[in-house]
Amino acid sequence: MQEALVTYRQWASQLTQIAGFIATGDVVLISYGFSQRLAAILLLASAFPLIILLMYLFIGSINIPLIGLMLRIERKLLIGGENSLAAIFLREERRSVTPAVGTIDELSNEEVRHLNLSIARRKWAWTSVPIILYTATIAQVGIFVLSLTVFDYRFM
Structure confidence at residue 66 (pLDDT)? 84
In a domain, 82, yes or no: yes
Structure confidence at residue 61 (pLDDT)? 82
Q: Is pLDDT larger for residue 18 or for residue 93? A: 18
pLDDT digits (tens, 9 = 90+) for 31-77: 999 999 999 999 999 999 999 999 998 988 888 788 878 888 877 77
Cα separation, 124 vs 57, in Å, equals 8
In a domain, 154, yes or no: no
Q: Is pLDDT larger for residue 78 or for residue 20? A: 20
In a domain, 52, yes or no: yes
Structure confidence at residue 83 (pLDDT)? 67
Count of structural domains, the chain: 1
In a domain, 58, yes or no: yes
In a domain, 44, yes or no: yes
In a domain, 156, yes or no: no
In a domain, 37, yes or no: yes
Cα separation, 60 vs 118, in Å, equals 10
In a domain, 18, yes or no: yes
pLDDT digits (tens, 9 = 90+) for 69-100: 888 887 777 776 666 777 767 666 655 444 45
Structure confidence at residue 17 (pLDDT)? 97
**Domain span holding position 140:** 2-149
Q: Is pLDDT larger for residue 19 or for residue 122? A: 19
